[in-house]
Amino acid sequence: MHSVVISGTGLFTPAQSITNDELVESFNTWVHQHNAANADAIARGELEPLGESNAAFIEKASGIKSRFVMDKAGILDPQRMVPRLPERSNDEPSILCEMAVAAARQALERAGRTPADVDAVIVACSNLQRPYPAVAIEVQQALGIQGFGFDMNVACSSATFGIQAACNAVQLGQARSVLVVDPEICTGHLNFRDRDSHFIFGDAATAVLVERADLATSPYQFEVLSTKLLTQFSNNIRNNFGFLNRAAEEGVGGDDKLFVQEGRKVFREVCPMVAELIGKHLEENDIEVSKVSRFWLHQANLSMNHLIVKKLLGRDATPEEAPVILDTYANTSSAGSVIALHKYQDDLPSGALGVLSSFGAGYSIGSVILRKR
């Protein structure tokens, strides 16, 4: 078995960003229009008027202040409230491929590698834009990588599950290195007319290069000490969009064909599961929690992250111990924990321990223990 390192990370951030105030202004304009158009039915008591959204609520409930997006105008247009991402011909790179390649090039650069050093590409994300051909194979071709590629979807946990799959391939000698890329256009599956969730997501792409330790030359290496995954079925985060929708016309366009969740239940159920999994994982590797310098957690909700690290450490974490990126990125699904890793790693000394952890729909939870080389 070969030892494995993450030898480079990369991040693509969209050029446009939406503040809570901008999002709420568009939402409330639509609510007023909707309530005015249905004034008679509301007066007769046949319809409940829709309630306004509120920027202060959003920041207090989630910690989110703004989010990067691929198309601001389409989302903020009260007559549309959906990003406008025009269709491309099959001869052009897909938008997900473009984002993935930008993040992958940065990971390769930090790893001091070229596509000739890579044997496989895994695109691991929640929001794949098509079933096939795999986006990973398109990314492979765009970068000029020989070998193989495949897509996988484990919702918000896709990155850590992808990293474990990549580690397995490198450990077994099936690949010298594997690019794991997480391109997420979460705004494509977000219902911007649902007050409970319209503020939750943003768009981004991340990449990590998982490489054989004895081949790696990068100054930014983290040894992968261990990975641990867990899934447990839940209906509390769901998206029923799929190719069988056309065979059930009665459901086409229903709210459940976009992201829906029971946020409170998710909060209550997932926090203890994550703390327990990370705690167990560290224990199995004879690592005391107090020896961990950094927790790069999935970025969905600030209070959730505070609670998880508090359960682990027995005290509040410092901002350095559990870095936050969701304030400006919102929830970017599988990309979130890797954005935190990418942005908050260069200050760590050699030998420092960190845990990369994702959690989300499924439920699915992943933990990756890393040691700075």
Contact residues toward ligand COA (CB under 6 A) are 53-54, 57-58, 61-62, 156, 195-196, 199, 237, 261, 263-264, 266-267, 300-301, 304, 331, 360-361
Q: Closer CB to ligand COA, residue 179 or residue 326? A: 326
Q: Closer CB to ligand COA, residue 142 or residue 185? A: 185
Q: Closer CB to ligand COA, residue 120 or residue 190? A: 190
Give the chain's end-to-end CA distance (angstroms, integer).
19
In 3-state terms, what secondary structure has residue 226? strand
Cis peptide leading into 363, omega within 30 of 0? yes
State the Cα–Cα distance between residues 290 and 121, nearest whole angstrom: 35
**For helices 302-313 and 263-284, angle between their N-to-C axes, nearest 10 degrees:** 30
Q: Closer CB to ligand COA, residue 88 or residue 265? A: 265
C-beta nearest to ligand COA: residue: 263
Report, in Å, the least distance between residue 254 CB and ligand COA. Answer: 20
Known catalytic membership, residue 156: yes
Residue type, position 198, single letter: H
Q: Closer CB to ligand COA, residue 264 or residue 315? A: 264
Report, in Å, the least distance between residue 280 CB and ligand COA. Answer: 21
Catalytic annotation, pick one of 97, 125, 156, 271 = 156
Q: Exposure of 276 by Cβ count < 10 A (0-12 exposed, 13-18 middle, 19+ buried)?
A: middle
How far are the Cα atoms of 84, 226, 241, 351 from residue 368, in angstroms, in the given order?
Answer: 36, 6, 30, 16
In 3-state terms, what secondary structure has residue 338? helix
Q: Residues 6 or more apart from 301 whose CB is under 8 A from it?
A: 61, 62, 63, 267, 326, 331
Q: Closer CB to ligand COA, residue 220 or residue 259? A: 259
Torsion angle, CA of 262/300/165/275, rounded to 10 degrees? -80
Q: Other C-beta atoms within 10 Å of 102: how many?
A: 17
State the Cα–Cα distance between residues 267 and 332, nearest whole angstrom: 17
Q: Closer CB to ligand COA, residue 8 or residue 360? A: 360
In 3-state terms, what secondary structure has residue 294? strand
Specify the DSSP class assigned to residue 88: -
DSSP β-bridge partners for residue 121: 149, 179
Handedness of CA 125, 155, 134, 67 (dihedral sign): negative
In 3-state terms, what secondary structure has residue 22? helix
Give the residue carrying structure tokens 């790696």.
216
For 227-250, give the DSSP string. EEEEE---SSEE---SGGGGG-GG
List residues with catalytic annotation.
Answer: 156
